[in-house]
Amino acid sequence: MSFPYLSDVVRALTGYDFPLPIATFGLMVACATLAAAACLRAQMQRLHLEGKLGNARRQVKGKDGSATWVEVAPQEVVSNMTVVVLLAGVLGARVFHIFEHLDSFRVAPWEMIFSRSGLSIFGGLIFGTIAGLWFVRRWHLPARPLMDAIAPAMMLGYAIGRIGCQVAGDGDWGSAANLALKPDWLPLWTWAQTYDNNIVGELIAAPGVYPTPMYETLMGLACFAVLWALRKHPFKTGWLFSVYLLLTGLERLLIEQIRVNPVLEVAGIHATQAEMIAVVLAVCGAAGMALLSRRSAPAAAAR
């Protein structure tokens, strides 16, 4: 069963029909954003106190036209950075989804642009990263320490955001479930779901499809636990972000094996868009870990 709006949740729990047209997917994205921002703020504050991250600084023009420097603790800019990254991420997620479904876009472009479903997580990651780097440069903050700080936050936000996909039934489910492979001790709902009342209005035949958003939430939380445990690593800056790239690439490669996505052909390679990007991320992550797996020397706060 899916619950696209908050009113659906209230109706299922109480039996009362209240007009609460708040999308559960958007609600979970908001929760994911707040959780990720809190995690990032804590990480940046720790790095600042340890002398590994200096103040955020940028020039502003006064009323007389003269330029002055504004300087604040790095964690104080997290709220603004979160808004910038979130907006860019949503735009990128939509753009990459359109690229992945160009045939549908040609048929109904406006419907696809303003659809309540259909977002590519890797599009959001790429656009959000570019926007984040622009913001970091604007505030004269070092990129690599920030990337280490943001790695656990991004994984936590991803895990919570996937709860929204599961609850709303936004189409990010898997292929038809094979019940012959289900272990007897597993409840049926953990293996196959029909997502009745899903927000995209699609009817799924019994026994259903693999509930991949639920699996991704569990894998995302496990990856977050790994990144959080390694957050005080002794290696060079950028190493933890490399671990994040490796984990997110491997996680998506695994889940794509039971997902239904368009298969593209690029330079003779047949794979989904997500699989191609996941391989690149995993390779970059492994390379980064190998290059940065050396203890960093004590240094003054980075500026």
pLDDT tens sequence across 40-95: 999 999 999 988 888 988 888 777 777 788 888 989 999 998 888 888 887 887 78
Residue 30 lies inside a defined structural domain of this protein: yes
10 vs 122: which has the higher pLDDT: 10
Q: How confident is the model at residue 119 (pLDDT cuts 50, 70, 90)?
A: low
Q: Does 301 have pLDDT greater than 60?
A: no
Beta carbons of 281 and 241 less than 8 angstroms apart: no
Residue 155 lies in a domain: yes
Pairing of strands 56-61, 67-72: antiparallel
In a domain, 293, yes or no: no
Does any domain span residue 296? no
Cα dihedral angle (177, 180, 185, 187), rounded to 10 degrees? 30
What is the C-alpha to C-alpha distance for residues 266 and 272, in angstroms, rounded to an integer?
A: 10
Residue 200, pLDDT above cutoff 70? yes
Residue 103 lies in a domain: yes
Model pLDDT for residues 127-145, shown as the tens digit of each residue: 888 888 888 888 888 888 8
Residue 99 counted as domain residue: yes
Provide the number of structural domains found in the chain.
1
Contact 20, 10 (CB under 8 A): yes
- % helix, strand, coil for the chain, step of 5: 60, 10, 30
233 and 295 Cβ atoms separated by less than 8 Å: no
Average pLDDT, whole number, for the chain?
Answer: 87
Q: What is the pTM of this model?
A: 0.85
Question: What is the residue range of 174's domain?
Answer: 6-54+70-231
In tens, the pLDDT along 137-192 reads: 888 888 888 899 999 999 999 999 999 999 999 888 999 999 999 999 999 999 99
pLDDT tens per residue across span 264-276: 777 787 888 889 9
Q: Is residue 15 part of a domain?
A: yes
Task: State percent of the chain over pLDDT 70.
Answer: 91
Is residue 83, in this structure, part of any structural domain at all? yes
